Amino acid sequence: MKQFIWVGVLAAIFGFLWWRGYIKRFAVYWQQTVEELKKCAWPTWDDLSGSTILVMVATFLLALFTFVVDQVLFALFKTV
């Protein structure tokens, strides 16, 4: 019985959205989004893997820098 109530509620919501034109606007938005994505220049696998490695190295270096600075500041404030 609950399922029929939920189906009715969802149908009412869908009907309201259809009546207000939201469904049509969403369909147009979706179609325009697909068209714009077709115009994009997607990276090749080599570009993607190279960028991934670069991000991983930069993240490691930032973590290392943060660790070293933390240790130095900890040692300085421990002696004070």
**17 close to 11: Cβ distance less than 8 angstroms:** no
Rounded to an integer, what distance in angstroms lies between the CA atom of residue 76 and that of residue 80?
7
Q: How is residue 1 annotated by DSSP?
A: -
Query: Where do the domains of the chain lie?
Result: 1-40, 42-80
Asked if the model's pLDDT at residue 79 lies above 80, the reply is no
Handedness of CA 18, 22, 27, 28 (dihedral sign): positive
Looking at the predicted structure, is the pLDDT value of residue 80 above 80? no
- Per residue in 30-70, pLDDT (tens digit) is 999 999 999 999 899 999 999 999 999 999 999 999 999 99
Name the least confident of 22-26, 36-40, 76-80: 76-80
